Structure 1
Amino acid sequence: MVEEASSGAKQNRKAKGEAWEWLKALGIAVILALLIRTFLFAPVLVSGSSMMPTLEDGERLIVSKLIYYIQSPKHGDIIVFHATEEKDYIKRVIATEGQTVEYRNDQLYIDGKPVDEPYLQQYKKEAKAAGYDVLTKDFREEKIPPGHIFVMGDNRRNSTDSRMIGPVPVNKVVGRSEFVIWPLNKIKFN
């Protein structure tokens, strides 16, 4: 009888030890997930059409939060930034601090030099086919202040961006869009 009690106690200790190991593993996994989400990567849902045709409403992105601790945003990056306390926007970086930006006759100029925007070619053709003279309306030259960037949505006719809200402080940038993860048939790197 003593042997049976001793065997039951061993099994009970073994079960408690195994449960404790599972709890520790689960706790470590939760902590790692929180650290990764807070400091490295975050999933983001595209809401709206301001980045079409590059990004569509309902797509899910992975945003790198760490990248801008290593380097500054650069022309062409697709970024997520805090537009208001409650809302984040997804836009493309057009110009960075110290640069001047201007649009004339559907052509982007940075520091007075024309800049190609290959990501807009499809949309420009669609805009002309729909009867619009230009995809992007002209705006006067603007110099980007220190610590700011100028951003625009790829859907230039339907985007609230730096043309309306002004240059965006770099400290409001959440991170850079790295790739689309959903829907599965739209997986791509940005």
Structure 2
Amino acid sequence: MVSRGLLWFFTKRTATGALIGLTISDRYASIVTVHGHSMKPTLNPGSKAFPISISGDLVLVEKLCLNKYKFSHGDVVVCGNPNNHKQSLIKRIIALPGDWIRIPETYKIVKVPEGHCWVEGDNYNSSTDSRSFGPIPLGLVKGRATHVIWPPQRIHKLDRRMPTGRISLI
């Protein structure tokens, strides 16, 4: 039989730990599972790894960049889908506010408005991104993905990469 004092002790510890964990995941960092093929080969969905099976890479998402929207060209970010507020996307920032971006298949050149960014997936043929829905508000960005942390054989830091010839100097 468990005494009331012991039960109260564990309840307080659990509640305290949950509040600390929630604060950390809300303000500093969180872990996100990658779904879909839009970021292959940088991020892989459907990886099967022992001892547990997860439906994709797990990435560490830091949120300190949100304080003053400190993003750079080539950052991998988690953002809300502008067409479906319940869905999150993981994409690479190609252009920042004020940049002119070339859209290859249409040969259009678009200026990214203030307060917005242009995001695209690394797997160009299998990505629904800014080419479909246009620039997204920086307010939809939920954090910057910095590392793949699972599966163990794929642990690495995510590099900033930019496709060549996309930013125009008009």
Pairwise TM-score range, normalised by the shorter structure: 0.7 to 0.9
Equivalent of residue 75 in structure 1, options 64, 73, 76: 73
Helix, strand or coil at the partner of 2:20:
helix
1:50 matched to which residue of 2?
38
Aligned in 2, Cα 1:54/1:138: closer, same or farther, shift over 3 Å? Answer: farther
* Distance in 2 separating the partners of 1:98 and 1:70: 17
Give the total of aligned pairs.
145
- In terms of fraction of residues, the more helix-rich structure is 1
User: Which runs of 5 or more residues in structure 1 are unaligned?
Assistant: 1-11, 105-136
Q: CA deviation at 1:23?
A: 2.9
Sequence identity, in percent?
Answer: 35
Q: CA deviation at 1:43?
A: 1.4
Instruction: Write the letter of the residue equivalent to 2:41.
Output: P
Instruction: Write the letter of the residue equivalent to 1:78.
Output: V
Which is greater in Rg?
Answer: 1
- For the pair 1:102 / 2:102, whether they are aligned, the reply is yes
1:127 matched to which residue of 2?
none
* Distance in 2 separating the partners of 1:88 and 1:56: 16
Give me the TM-score of the superposition, normalised by structure 2: 0.78
Q: CA deviation at 1:167?
A: 0.2
Instruction: Write the letter of the residue equivalent to 1:24.
Output: K
Equivalent of residue 19 in structure 2, options 22, 31, 38: 31
Question: Structure 2 matches for 1:1-190, cutoff 5 A?
Answer: 16-57=4-45, 58-83=56-81, 84-103=84-103, 137=105, 139-190=107-158
Give me the TM-score of the superposition, normalised by structure 1: 0.70
